[in-house]
Amino acid sequence: DADVTQTPRNRITKTGKRIMLECSQTKGHDRMYWYRQDPGLGLRLIYYSFDVKDINKGEISDGYSVSRQAQAKFSLSLESAIPNQTALYFCATSDLGTGGADTQYFGPGTRLTVL
Amino acid sequence: GENVEQHPSTLSVQEGDSAVIKCTYSDSASNYFPWYKQELGKGPQLIIDIRSNVGEKKDQRIAVTLNKTAKHFSLHITETQPEDSAVYFCAASGGGSGGYQKVTFGTGTKLQVIP
């Protein structure tokens, strides 16, 4: 079984709808992240969480919210989806390694289309 | 903040030839430089990384070099094979211990290995 799973894998929705993307991990990592991937822009951080009680905004958090329900679960919500939120979304986990280096472990991604 | 530039954006090589992808970074405090490979329909996966106290690291056909003075690092793939075809991302993360060391990703290089 995959260590980091995301549901759904694909979603098509309409402008104004509320959408939730879910992420679960079995790696036992404390740190979880949500990224957005757009062609030519690489991966941009939306939100990150160090533990259940610690939620932090990333560089592009506007229009998004998150919930860390448990150590293993981190969900991303779009309260009112808009077309420019059409993108590939990745959840990732990490565990601070030696020398202070975070290696990120990514889920398979959710392709979201907002019409 | 950190800025990571990655070149080229696309790269086509004949099977058996070498491929080189280059990245530059702006923050001299960055001390960890991972490379990720993203295959079609999957999330990025770490393939090799290097820390700032090392100039070069090899793993079979893959090598990474780091020039701290010039603030650039490169991925070298020798004897390329069709299964090397993917999008490759470089990244840089900052120094210090504990806390969040922001990971900044490059914009990706789409490598195509022609049989």
Segment B70-93, tens digit of pLDDT: 999 999 999 999 999 999 999 998
Residue that the structure tokens 């799973």 belong to:
A5
The answer to whether B20 and A89 have CB atoms below 8 angstroms apart is no
Residues A93 and A105: their CA atoms lie apart, in Å, by 5
Cis peptide bond upstream of B115, omega within 30:
no
| Average pLDDT for A85-106 | 84
What residues of B are in contact with residue A101 (Cβ under 8 Å)? 31-32, 34, 49, 51, 93, 101
Dump pLDDT digits (tens) for B31-60: 899 999 999 989 999 999 998 888 899 999
Give the pLDDT of residue B100: 67
The answer to whether B94 and B29 have CB atoms below 8 angstroms apart is yes
Dump pLDDT digits (tens) for A20-44: 999 999 999 989 999 999 988 889 9
B93 touching chain A per CB within 8 A: yes
- Judge: A42–B6 Cβ closer than 8 Å, yes or no: yes
The DSSP output letter for A84 is G
CA distances B32 to A76, B50, B60, Å, are 28, 6, 21
| Closest CA of chain B from A79, distance in Å | 25
The DSSP output letter for A79 is S
